[in-house]
Amino acid sequence: MTPKLPRTVRAVDTAQLLDLAQEAALHSFSQRLPVDWLLDHLAAEATHYLFPTLVQRLTHRPGTPLQWRCRQLLTVNTGERIWGLLDVLPDTFDKLPETLNTASKKDIVSRLERAVTVREWMERTAADSGS
């Protein structure tokens, strides 16, 4: 039976996000940023957010566990908020503490809608450093 996708947002610190990215890499999940990239670009003392958006089952890779594809709102070392995707095991997500109230969750989802993507931010950052 497929676990029900939670309609919630979870807050994680940078160390927790790095652990989640490491777990995703261990399972060869397709939606994840490299841990080295995260180490180079995330604000060390920031809070980041995960919002599950779909159940991901890789039928072409039967040994790969089911995942929840989460939109993640990241704070990078420039102080900007950007969004990307991260595939997370359901049990791992469930173990993250529920710390946000309903208003905060709605605010995070709204910020996700307005944030630039990781790719857009990287392209802009590369263009800015090249001039």
The partner residues of 33 in beta bridges, in order of sequence, read none
Q: Specify the 3-state DSSP secondary structure of 15.
A: helix
Q: List the domain boundaries for the chain.
A: 10-130
The first and second tokens of residue 38, run together, are 């995260």
pLDDT in tens, the chain (131 residues): 667 899 999 999 999 999 999 999 998 888 889 999 999 999 999 999 999 999 887 666 667 788 999 999 999 999 999 999 999 999 999 999 999 999 999 999 999 999 999 999 999 988 877 65
Q: How far apart are the first and last CA of the chain?
A: 53
Structure confidence at residue 47 (pLDDT): 97
pLDDT score recorded for residue 31: 85
Please list the alpha-helical segments (H only) found in 59-101: 90-95
> Can you read off the two tokens belonging to residue 97?
């503490």
